Every structure is written in C-alpha cells, then in structure tokens.
Structure 1
Amino acid sequence: MDAGELLIGQIINFSGNPFLEGPHAAHHDASGGLVIQNGRISAVGSAEDLRRDFPRAKVTDFGNDLILPGFIDAHVHYPQTAIIASWGKRLIDWLNTYTFPEEMRFSDPEYSAEVARCFFDLSLSHGTTTVASFCTIHPESVNAFFAEAKRRNLCAVGGKTCMDRNAPDGLRDNVQSAYDDSKRLLERWHGDDRLIYAITPRFSPTSTREQLEALGALWSEYPECPMQTHLSEQTDEVAWVAELFPEARDYLDTYEAAGLLGAGGLYGHAIHLADRERQRLLEAGGALVHCPTSNTFIGSGLFDMDGLTREDQIVGLATDTGGGSSFSMLRTMAAAYEVAQLRGRPLHPSELIWLATAGSARALRLGDRIGDLKPGYDADLVVMDLASTPAIAQRAARAKDIWEALFPTIMMGDDRAIRDVRVLGQTALC
C-alpha cells in the first residue's frame, strides 16, 4: 500500500457555503495537514494526529504556509492568451478587433498546441488546477487543449466554440458542422482521464436559432456534459439579442427555447438579468459565472453577488482570460471584492476563497471530486505563502486571525505567493 505523503501547514476546508451559513462554514486549522495516497486525499486533520496515524508517510512541512484546494477558473478563453490586456474596447468592438483575428490562427494545430502549453503554464503558476475553457470553432484547438491538459493530468473542461453568423469568414461553421464536430469531439475526449467536454455555443448573437437548437439537441443526448455560453454581459449586447430574437421574452429565453437551459449550464457574466431570468435560472439549476476583472476591464457592469447568492443561485468565479486582465484567481477574488463593495456588500475572505474553490466546483458539477480538502477528493492543491512580499508580510504580521492574515494576499498577492501546486498529489510547477 502507498505510504503516502503528509503535507503539514495551515489548512482551510468547508462544511458548507459561507454565503448562506457565514464564515464558520470555513474551518481553519493552524497546525493541520492532509495525507495524499495514490493521487487522492486520504485523511485530513491535525498534524499531530496525522503523524501518529501515518508513521510511514513522507512528511513535507510547509510551516505557516496555507494549504488550499487548487483554484478553479470556471470561464476562460485559452485562445485569447496572447491578447490579454488589449486596450480600450467594448465587448463587440473587442471581439472584432482582437478576439476574432487571433482565433483565426487556431486552425493551425502547432499554434494551438503552443498557446495551450503557455496557457496552462500561466494558470498553474497562479495556483489554478482546473479551468473551463472555450476553444475556437476549429477542432484543432479543442484537440490541443485536451491533449495538453491530459499530459499534465489535469481536470479540465472545454469545447468547440460554435458560431454560424455575425463572425468573420473562417470563424463560422454551420448548423450541421457545429453538431457533427461537437459530437465527434465529445465522443473523443469526454471522460478520457479527467477531461470533460462542454457543448459550447459562443452566445446567441453568433448563432442562428437553428444552430442553438442543434446544440440543444446534442445536450439532450449527452446531459452528463456541461454546456457553456455567455449571458447578459453588456447592455448593448442585450439590446442586440432583442433585435435578433424579437420573439424571445428575454436573453435567457433564446437559450431556453433551444433546450440550452438546465442543470450543468454555465452562463458567463450574467450581469443584466431580468427577474424572470433569475427565477428560471434558479428553477433550472443553471450556474452563473462571475468574471469581475473582465466586467470592469471591458466596462460591462457590476454583478449582483449579494442578491444572487441570497437567492441560492449557483455561482462560480472566473478570470475570463483574455477579456479578463489577469490569469490569477487571487486578482480575480480581489476584483470580486471590489465589485461587491461598489454594490454595498463587502465579501468576507471565506466567501472569496469558497468562490474560487468549492463554489466553482459546484458550478461545474464537480463538487464531489475537487474544490475542497476532504478524504476521497482528488489531491489538487495550492500552497500559499501569506508573507510573499514586504507589503503583504508587514500587514499579515499584525493579523489577529486567519482571515486578517489571508486577506492581504487576496488583495495584493500574485504568483509570488504560490509556493507549490499539486495535481493528483504531484508538484505541477515548472
């Protein structure tokens, strides 16, 4: 039997959702640890008890560093890695100026593979161990994404982005090819090791009713797969959808009418929601993915975190690379805090960490496998130095509890705070 490895440090895990139960739903052990055996967490507890119970385990002592579940980024565009932080455009202009020209390049398998390697290097360097990514319309982009994730033993979600209108030549498929390509890629990659295929219409403006319906039919054939798209990101986008779909009651109805509303649905942004949309999302069990750095960078608006979580909506957190301006989930948590402050409700550090771990795992329907430190869970972990820079260290030194010690790293931390990243228990940093 594998004697395993005992990691010792501070740990935080969850018994519930801190948005609903308060900060006490997050449990902190200043002298804690966990045991990894065969790529999974086999025990969690005090360091003293684990040393006694697992005397043959290799011990790695991280001292005062904090051991957390690996961060989960629930909405990214890996093909936009090279255009992150591009200047000054609203959504539609940004797509036409930066995104679409870059995505044209992903018909090249070698270029797709190069960007996939770069993207995963950057994500892992910031402590992110799982992503849900849009690829491009090109099957080559999907194959490169999944091949690189598999090489690294990552749990990864991705899918071919489908568009049959309002996009340049070379970035449009059609109703039949969207269905056929998606099904073929799904059957190739879904369930291969830790890989998960997501049916992926980009958003209603770039898909005809017929294409949305074809993808809805595919989802009905494979309901175990997630479906990812965009919803109500900007007001001018919402108005455009109303023009394109005059029969629809609202933006969400364009998906609902096509069979693209349900449990396992991932709806990125979801800022400008009508009351009916909120009610239907709650009833259907769809997940809303908050992308705060993107929403401020592109000027989209302020996500209603307080109202939506009070409704017990399923909410995840994401960088939205490259509309988002950082690969870091720490920076994303900081932006989520700032957005919530602008809406009058500061988020507690326990809520921010939950969003980036267990909350995003719940959104991806992976909450029984990743996103927490519990026996039986995959050993995807991040170890953080809570004094990684002089500015952070001097503030953390004055902390009266773990939340005061952690919050400066959330607000000011970057990849220098990431001491170790584990994927199935193995160090994943270069």
Structure 2
Amino acid sequence: MTDTQTAYRSALFHTLDNPAHQPAGEAHQYFADGLLVVENGTITHCGDAESLLKELPPHIKVVELPNSLITPGFIDTHIHYPQTEMIASYGEQLLDWLENYTFPTEKQFSDPEHAQRVASLFLDELLKNGTTTALVFGTVHPESVDAFFNEAQKRQLRMIVGKVMMDRNAPDYLTDSAQSSYDESKQLIEKWHNKDRLAYAVTPRFAPTSTPEQLDVAAKLLKLAPDLYLHTHLAENKNECEWVAELFPESRSYLDVYDQHQLLTERSVFAHGIYLNDEDCCRLHQTGSSVAFCPTSNLFLGSGLFNVKKLESHKVNIGMGTDVGGGTSFSMLQTLQEAYKVTQLQQQRIDPIQSFYLATLGGARSLRLSDKIGTLLPKSEADFVVLDLESTPLIKARMANANSISEQLFILMMLGDDRSIKATYSGGRCVHQR
C-alpha cells in the first residue's frame, strides 16, 4: 500500500450479483468491521479491518466511522432535473400532468442561467441523498444539457443526460424537428460525450411526442458512438398505452414501436414498463435493454404497479428510478420503501438485499457501468455513501434489535431518508457531508 491512500473503517456492505438469481448469501459481501482503502479516486482494498490493518503503513490516515455502514453510491436510472422545482404538484395523472405542470416548467430552460441554477440545486439534492450517478432528462433546449454537464463536471461526478426530442403533440414552444433534434444532439454528443466522467443519452421523450421520422433520427444518433445511451419512457399509464396504439397502429405493442425503429440496445433504458406482455419482456432480455422501476412516481400519478417478479423471470435488467418530479423524493431509501410496498400489493416480496442490489449494482448493470461503479470491489471508482445507523432516535432504537445485515438494510429502507446519509463520496472525494 502507498502513502497516497485513505482508509475508511466501518461496517461495509455491497452486492456481487442479483440475489434473485443466486443462492442466499452468495450474492453479497458484508464486513461488520470493515476497511475500505481508496487511492487516487479508486478502491484498492475492501475487506475485514483486522486483516487489512496489518498491511497498512502506520502513517496512512484511517477515518473511523462508528455506527455507520458504507455501501456503494446509489444509482438513479431515471430522473428529470428540470422538474426539480415542480416536485409535489397536485392532482393529475400522467398526460394531464405533463400538459398542466411539466411543459410550462420546462419552457424556462431556454435560459442558461435558470438551467444552471436548477442543475446545481438538483445535483446538491442527489448528493445529499447518497446518489452518485444518475441517468437524467434535460429539456428540448441544448442550453439545459450544457448547464447540467457544466455543473456535473465541476463536481467531478459520473452523470448521463440528454436533450429531449419532441416534434409533435407538445406545445410549440417545446417542439423541435427531426432534423434540428439530430443536429443539436450531435453537437452535444461531440461536445460532452465521454468528457471526464460524463456521457450522453439520446432522449426522445416518449413515442407519442416523436414522429416516426424523429425515432429514426434517434437510431441514427445512436450510431455516432458505440457507447451512447437511449433513454425514454415506456408503458407507464393505461391512457398513454391506448394513445400509442392509435398513433402507431402497425406496431404490436408500445415496446414494438421502439423496436421497429431500432431503439432496443444494450444501452437502452426504458422508464416504467408497467404494462408489458411476455413477448415485450422477452425482447427486452434478448436486446439487453433495461427498465427503470419508479415506484414513488407510479403511485403518485396513479399509473399502476410495476411487476418486479415478472421482469425478473425473464431476466430483464432492472434499475431503480426516483423519477423526480413525478416521483416524490430524491431519496433512494424512500424509493426502496415504496418499491417494497408496490410488491406487497401484488402478493410478492422484494427482500432488502435485492433492494440494495437494484439501487447499486443493478443500476450499474443497467447502465453497463458495473466495471466502474455499483460495488466496493478493488479497481472500482470510489463512489460510496456512509449511512448513519443512528440517524434518528427511532432508527437507533430499532437498530439495537437488528440481528443481521438484512434487517439493518430493511430498517434503513423503511425509516431512512436524507438524514441517514452521513457523507457521500464521488471518485474518492467527499462531495456531501451532513
């Protein structure tokens, strides 16, 4: 070990695989007294503190974190940064909510100063809640993407965003054209994609707001670089699904619209996916596409209940999404709480180990970044969160009776929020401290 390292002593937990497909106990690692060693933004050692301390030179700084649990940073696979200041807008379902709240709010992002201010607030909220990577919607304005990337770059974060593409069924002040969406997206890709820790997502809002020509343009954009993302919405709301069927009568299903336009790839992430049939799930698996499970948004907008077990049975990649501002919290802990309730309402159950998998390694796999983030394994980027096991009197009292790491995780899911985040680290740097 070299003298440029910092060691963090705490309980450590991370998943190694999807617990839904592995025998109990083989899909995660837990060290009640662990040591995480970081050098130049990368994890070099993760294991039992007593063993690793014997190898540690005496002058290496050891940060003691009592009553804490270190996990990988949370990964949010679907969120809208322009909707930060319209979170908790009352009383609509999806299509009316877009018309009455979302579109007027997004109009303001043609102003670079406004976009910069909201992007800064948004990123601060993510870090305050332990989220270190997110797949993010901008607006139709290139200025919104520039502002977001500028703020993310300042903080040296691993973030993904894209300019929204909409050439129909939206207000004139928010529509582009197939050609202008191609030109503007291409310029943004050339400017930002793979710059530092940033990446670009081709982002048609959803099938109803893009003509077939624009969906073809989205596929053309994906060919500009092999590691570009595709980020859009899918089968969120029953009325939306009926609308898609009217607009695309030649398509077998909502998913098939995207499939016919060659938008199902290993780097495609579809938000929601509530109303999918078995054939859709098979296509998602075959193409390596992923779905973002957004429980607080689905409940808030009355959209429906996401069927985790169905998608798991088809081995579809799943990540968690807060979907702010339809979603009601930036907190991944609160999002996991609602995910548990969604499964309970369907006579299913999602255990705490799998919940934390979905919020970390599951998200990393959905984004094809599991070689970089999502675990505490050596060579991973040092994106991690320090969770406070005594952040509230109630959590402290409940933890006193917890007999396993699984029970501790469940308590954090059920009772935790931003107060449970003691610190957030990105690339080995502390980017939030409570």
TM-score when scaled to structure 1?
0.98
Q: State the 1:429 CA deviation.
A: 1.1
| Mapped partners of 2:256, 2:226: distance in 1 | 19
| Mapped partners of 1:15, 1:190: distance in 2 | 28
Aligned partner (choices 162, 175, 179) of residue 178 of structure 2 = 175
Q: State the 1:48 CA deviation.
A: 1.4
1:198 paired residue number: 201
* Greater shift in the superposed pair: 39-48 or 11-20: 11-20
1:52 paired residue number: 54
Aligned partner (choices 114, 131, 143) of residue 134 of structure 2 = 131
1:289 paired residue number: 292
Helix, strand or coil at the partner of 2:152:
helix
Q: Does 1:350 align with 2:353?
A: yes
| Mapped partners of 2:4, 2:55: distance in 1 | 11
Amino acid at match of 1:80: Q
| Mapped partners of 1:23, 1:171: distance in 2 | 49
2:115 paired residue number: 112
Contact 1:262 1:284 in 2 (8 A): yes
| Mapped partners of 1:238, 1:406: distance in 2 | 36
2:70 paired residue number: 67
| Mapped partners of 2:376, 2:275: distance in 1 | 34
Helix, strand or coil at the partner of 2:213:
helix
1:276 paired residue number: 279
Amino acid at match of 2:223: S
Consecutive unaligned residues in structure 1, runs of 5 or more: none
| Mapped partners of 1:354, 1:122: distance in 2 | 22
Aligned partner (choices 21, 25, 31) of residue 33 of structure 2 = 31
2:152 paired residue number: 149
Contact 2:353 2:409 in 1 (8 A): no
Helix, strand or coil at the partner of 2:374:
coil
Q: State the 1:15 CA deviation.
A: 2.7
Contact 1:2 1:38 in 2 (8 A): no
Q: Does 1:379 align with 2:373?
A: no
1:184-240 Cα deviation digits (max 9, x unpaired): 101110010000100100000000000000111111232311100000001110000
Amino acid at match of 1:20: H
Identity across the alignment (%): 48
Amino acid at match of 1:324: G
| Mapped partners of 2:203, 2:186: distance in 1 | 11
| Mapped partners of 2:36, 2:126: distance in 1 | 24
Contact 1:3 1:54 in 2 (8 A): no
Q: Does 1:15 align with 2:16?
A: yes
Amino acid at match of 2:5: G
Helix, strand or coil at the partner of 2:398:
helix
Contact 2:15 2:353 in 1 (8 A): no
CA RMSD of aligned residues (A): 1.0
| Mapped partners of 1:369, 1:67: distance in 2 | 17
Contact 1:357 1:372 in 2 (8 A): yes
Contact 1:105 1:111 in 2 (8 A): yes
Amino acid at match of 1:198: A
Q: State the 1:8 CA deviation.
A: 0.6
Contact 1:290 1:317 in 2 (8 A): yes
Contact 1:91 1:234 in 2 (8 A): yes
| Mapped partners of 1:42, 1:292: distance in 2 | 35
Q: What does 1:257-406 align with in structure 2 at a 5 Å threshold?
A: 257-406=260-409
Contact 1:396 1:406 in 2 (8 A): no
Amino acid at match of 1:402: I
* Greater shift in the superposed pair: 33-42 or 393-402: 393-402
1:141-190 Cα deviation digits (max 9, x unpaired): 00001110000000001000100001111100001011111111011100
| Mapped partners of 1:29, 1:334: distance in 2 | 24
Contact 1:139 1:185 in 2 (8 A): yes
Contact 1:129 1:423 in 2 (8 A): yes
Q: Which runs of 4+ in 1 moved over 2 A?
A: 220-223
| Mapped partners of 2:367, 2:382: distance in 1 | 17
Q: State the 1:23 CA deviation.
A: 4.0
| Mapped partners of 1:212, 1:261: distance in 2 | 12
| Mapped partners of 1:336, 1:182: distance in 2 | 34
Helix, strand or coil at the partner of 1:167:
coil
| Mapped partners of 1:257, 1:16: distance in 2 | 32
Consecutive unaligned residues in structure 2, runs of 5 or more: none
Contact 1:386 1:393 in 2 (8 A): yes
1:353-378 Cα deviation digits (max 9, x unpaired): 11000000100110110010010000
CA 1:22/1:210 → structure 2, altered by over 3 Å: closer, same or farther?
same
1:42 paired residue number: 44
1:414 paired residue number: 417
Q: State the 1:60 CA deviation.
A: 0.3
* Greater shift in the superposed pair: 359-368 or 18-27: 18-27
Contact 1:386 1:406 in 2 (8 A): no
Q: What does 1:159-170 align with in structure 2 at a 5 Å threshold?
A: 159-170=162-173
| Mapped partners of 1:128, 1:351: distance in 2 | 18
